[in-house]
Chain A
Amino acid sequence: MPRIGVFIETREGRIKPAMSGVITAARGPNHELYGLVLDGRAADYKAQLQAFGIHRIVDVASPTGPLGWNPDTWARAIALAMREFGLEALFGLTSAMGKEVLPRIAAILDAPLLMDCLRVDVEKRTAEKSQFSGKTTGVFKLNGAHCLYGMRPNVIEAIPAPTEAKIDAFQAPVTEGALIVEALRLEASRGVDLTEAEIIISGGRAMQNGDNFRILRECAEVLGASVGASRVAVDAGWVPHSMQVGQTGKTVSPKLYIACGISGSVQHFAGMKTSGVIVAINTDPKAVMMQHCDYGIAGDLFEVVPILTRQLKASLNHG
C-alpha cells in the first residue's frame, strides 16, 4: 500500500482552501494518505482532513513545541517525517510557501520534484506541467526513492472522500541552522494570495492609475475575490509587483478570472491561461483577451465594472 504524504498549508488556523484539491490529486487505489501539519493545530483540522480522505494526520513539531516559520527547519522536519513514516511521495501546493518548502525538501532528500503540476499519475510517476510560457505542456517522468509534486492551486477539483483519520505526533529533532528568520513583515499582506485565490479580478493599461483600482476592489469584495494586475499596471507604478499576474509575476488558476482592460499579451496569458472561466471586459472587441475568453463584454470597464458590482451584490444577496 503506497504511503503518500501531503504537506498541509494553513493560514491563521485554517487549512487553505486550495488544499482540498491537492489531497484529491494525491488519492489513489490503496493509497494511505498522510497529512503533515506544522502549525501545532493538527487536532483542529481532523474533521476537514478526514472528509477528503486523509488517513493519518502527522503533527510535526520540534521537541520543544511547534516550529515557528522557517523554511529551512520546516523542510528538514518534513524530510525526517517522510523517512519516519516511509512516505514514497509528497504532494504540496505551488504557493509562495510551497515554493519555499518543497524544493528544500527535494534538495535534502536528493529527490525528484516537479512544481506547478497540472496533473499527476502517482503509480506511473509521471506529471504534467506548462513549459515555455504556457505554450506547451510537458509530460515528465520522475525517477528516485521519493517523488515530490507541487500542484498548481485550483487545477484539480476537490472531491470529498470521507474516512476516519488518526493523529500521530512526530517530534523532529531539528534546530535553527545557518538560515535565521529574524522577523515576518505581514503588514503589507492583504487577504488571500493571488496564486491561491478562487476568483480574481485584474486590471490592465485601461485602469489609468492606481486609485482606479478601487473599482476592482469594490467588485472583489462582493465576490470574495483577490485583485490582480497586468505588467503594464505594475511597471507604471500603479500597484505593487505582488499583484502582477503573468510570466514575470504570478501564475494563477482561479475558477473565475475577470480581465478588465487587459489586451492579453502572451506573457499575461502565461500566468492565467489555465483559469476555469475567463471573463474579458474591454472596449476593443478585437483584443486578444476578448478572443480567448469564455465570456466577453465589449465596453468601458469604468462603466461595466460598477454595474457588475451592483448586480452581483443584488444577485448574491438574493441567492
Chain B
Amino acid sequence: MPFKIYVCVKHVPDSAANITILDKTRIEEKITFIINPFDENAIEEAVQLRSKVGDAEVVAVTIGKPAAVETLRSAMAMGADRGIHVVTGDPPDSIATARALKAAILADGAPDIIFTGKGSIDSEGFQTMFRLGAALGVPAANNVASFRLEGRTATVESELEAGGRAVIRMPLPCVIGAGKALNKPRYPILPDIMKARKKPIRTVPMESLDIGTPPASVQLIELRPFSDRRQAKLIPGPVEKAVEELVRLLREEAKVI
C-alpha cells in the first residue's frame, strides 16, 4: 500500500484582482483566480515528503465551482499525482467544507497525512484544518514552519506570537497547516504544466457526499465594499518643521501618542 498524502487546496481570487459585488452575497468571478498561496507550501511539502518516503502518492483535493479544476491543475503541475474535485455551487462554510473533505478523502483512501495551507486569502476563516482533524479524530497543527517525519511520528514547529515557536509531536495520521516559512514552493516549468494536463482528476458532486446534517453554520448575509474614509493630509515644509507638525497632530488631533 503506498503512503497516502492528501493536500487540500482552494481556488481563490488573486489578491490583486478588483472585487465587484454583484448582488448581496456574490462577486463577479470573471477575474483571475489562483491556488491559495499557503496551499502552495502545502503541496511543496507533500511533494518533498513523497520523494523521502518512496512508495507514496500525493492527491490534491479541492471543493469549488467547476473553474476550481484550474487550481487542481496548478497543484498537479507542482507535482501532485492526481486530483479530486468536489464540485459545488456557492462556497460552503468551513463546517460543511471539513465534512465534505473528510467524506471525499475517506472515499478515496486511508490518509497517512493531510497537508493544507494555514489559511485562505479570500475568506480567512482560519479553521477548516482544525475541523477536518476533529472530524477525522486525528491531531492537527497549524502555521507550521518546519516538518520532520520519523517512522509514524511527525514533529513540527508551529509559529507562536512574536516569532516564538512550539515544537509539537503527533502520531500519523495528522493534519498539517503549512505556513509561509515552511519551504519555498517550486515554480512549475512548461513540461510540468503539460504533464499535469494528462494527470487524472476525479469529479465528485458535493450532493453525492454524505456529510450528515451539520448542527451549525456560518452564513454570509451581505457583502459591502470597504470604504476608506481617510483624507490624506500631506504635511508640507522642511523636514524638521514637518516632523514637528506631525508630532503635534498625533498628540493633539489624533490623540494616539
Contact = CB atoms under 8 A, between A and B. Distances in A.
A144 B216 contact: yes
Contacts, number: 270
Given A140-B219, A141-B218, A178-B139, A255 B256 contact: yes
Interface stretch (A23-31, A127-135, A164-172): A127-135
Contact of B161 (A72, A95, A266): A95
B26 to A, nearest CB: 11
Contacts of A184: 160, 164-167
Given A97-B160, A185-B164, A189-B163, A223 B257 contact: yes
Interface string A222-242: 010000000000000000111
Nearest to A141: B219
A140 B159 CA distance: 29
B130 A103 contact: yes
Interface in B145-164: 155, 157-164
B37 A69 contact: no
A179 B141 contact: yes
B37 A136 contact: no
Contacts of B215: 110, 144-145
Contact of A311 (B131, B181, B244): B244
A273 interface: yes
Interface string B102-143: 000000000000000000011111110011011100111111
Contacts of A178: 138-139, 170-171, 174
A40 to B, nearest CB: 19
A96 interface: yes
A113 B161 contact: no
A106 B257 contact: no
A136 B235 CA distance: 30
A307 B160 CA distance: 34
A253 to B, nearest CB: 13
A242 B246 contact: no
A312 B217 contact: no
The SS class assigned to the A binding surface is mixed
Contacts of A116: 124, 126
A278 B234 CA distance: 12
B194 to A, nearest CB: 28
A69 B133 contact: no
B21 interface: yes
Interface stretch (A83-91, A192-200, A210-218): A192-200
Contacts of A249: 180
Most-contacted residue by chain A among B142, B167, B216, B222 (CB, 10 A): B216
B214 interface: yes
A127 B214 CA distance: 20
B229 to A, nearest CB: 10
Contacts of B122: 131-133
Interface of B: 13, 15-16, 18-19, 21, 27, 37-38, 93-95, 98, 121-127, 130-131, 133-135, 138-143, 155, 157-171, 174, 179-181, 214-226, 228, 230-235, 239-240, 242-244, 246-247, 249-251, 254, 256-257
5 contacts: A136-B27, A138-B222, A144-B217, A182-B168, A291-B232
The 10 closest A-B pairs by CB, nearest first: A144-B216, A193-B161, A189-B164, A107-B134, A103-B127, A96-B161, A242-B163, A179-B139, A103-B130, A186-B164
